[in-house]
Amino acid sequence: MSSFDKSPRLLSGLCCGVMLASMSLVVAAEQSGHYGYGEPPTEEQIAAWDIDVRPDGMGLPEGSGSVDEGMGVYETYCASCHGAFGEGMGRYPKLSGGEGSLDQDRPEKTVGSYWPYASTLWDYIHRAMPFFAPQSLTDDQVYAVTAYVLNLNYIVEGDFVANRETLPEVVMPNHDGFIWEDPRPVVDNDRCMKDCKEEVTVSDSAEGKNLTPSTTGPLDEGITE
């Protein structure tokens, strides 16, 4: 029994020691302007995360790929799910077709019917496809297969070569289907900003009114077990 009595004290002694030690670490860390743990990421680690490509093409790397080259990439890595012509296999998404269907009962959102930018298509394929091995394609393969998917949708000609200059120039069919500026008027809110009441008092409250159902509240009246 006595060992049980002592163990909490021993434990709390240990805890205090650990706490003191970590507190002094924190103090030291704060003094030096850091938190005292972790390590600065390397350039390489940052580059691995920093892969986003913006609509204006910012972030697109060097390299290029043609529609012809893209056909091979597509057949090897994409067609099994998305179909030879982007028509989709089983429940995997279609990448082509669907033009004019967005306001129908069964809209088909595809690269051709929906996507506003070609540059972000590059981003999506680069970061997420092929589904079973994301980020396994080279930049040139992504350029090529992006060109091919655009060509499947008749958005670019067969001799198109995708690169960081040409992709942002591609005008997507549904670009203007998006609303780029919020058309709603700016409305003043009616929060009191001047001549406001000095003091606000609570004149009523829900307390004690039994508004919330509970096992003993009015809603249970009449229920017998």
Q: Which of 64, 109, 139, 166 binds ligand HEC (CB under 6 A)?
A: 109
The two tokens of residue 164 are: 């960081």
The dihedral through the CA atoms of 71, 75, 77, 83 has a sign that is positive
Could you tell me the smallest distance in angstroms from the CB atom of residue 45 to ligand HEC?
A: 25
The two tokens of residue 190 are: 């009616």
The dihedral through the CA atoms of 190, 195, 199, 203 has a sign that is negative
Residue 77 sits in the site that holds ligand HEC (CB under 6 A): yes
Count the residues of the shown chain that bind ligand HEC, applying the rule CB under 6 A. Answer: 20
Residue 80 sits in the site that holds ligand HEC (CB under 6 A): yes
Q: Which of 60, 95, 150, 170 binds ligand HEC (CB under 6 A)?
A: 95
Residue 78 sits in the site that holds ligand HEC (CB under 6 A): yes
106 vs 191, beta carbon nearer ligand HEC: 106
Residue 96 sits in the site that holds ligand HEC (CB under 6 A): no
Could you tell me the smallest distance in angstroms from the CB atom of residue 6 to ligand HEC?
A: 57
The two tokens of residue 142 are: 């992504």
Q: Which residue has the tokens 């033009």?
A: 99
* Cβ–Cβ < 8 Å for 111, 121: yes
Residue 92 sits in the site that holds ligand HEC (CB under 6 A): yes
Residue 53 sits in the site that holds ligand HEC (CB under 6 A): no
* Cβ–Cβ < 8 Å for 116, 172: yes
Q: Which of residues 132-191 bind ligand HEC (CB under 6 A)?
A: 132, 145, 149
82 vs 164, beta carbon nearer ligand HEC: 82
Distance between start and end Cα atoms, the chain: 46
State the burial class of residue 105 (Cβ atoms within 10 Å of its Cβ: 0-12, 13-18, 19+).
exposed
**Smallest Cα–Cα separation from 82: which of 123, 120, 128?**
128
Could you tell me the smallest distance in angstroms from the CB atom of residue 130 to ligand HEC?
A: 4
* Cβ–Cβ < 8 Å for 141, 73: yes
Q: Which of 124, 139, 166, 175 binds ligand HEC (CB under 6 A)?
A: 124
Binding site for ligand HEC (CB under 6 A): 77-78, 80-82, 92-93, 95, 109-111, 121, 124-125, 129-132, 145, 149
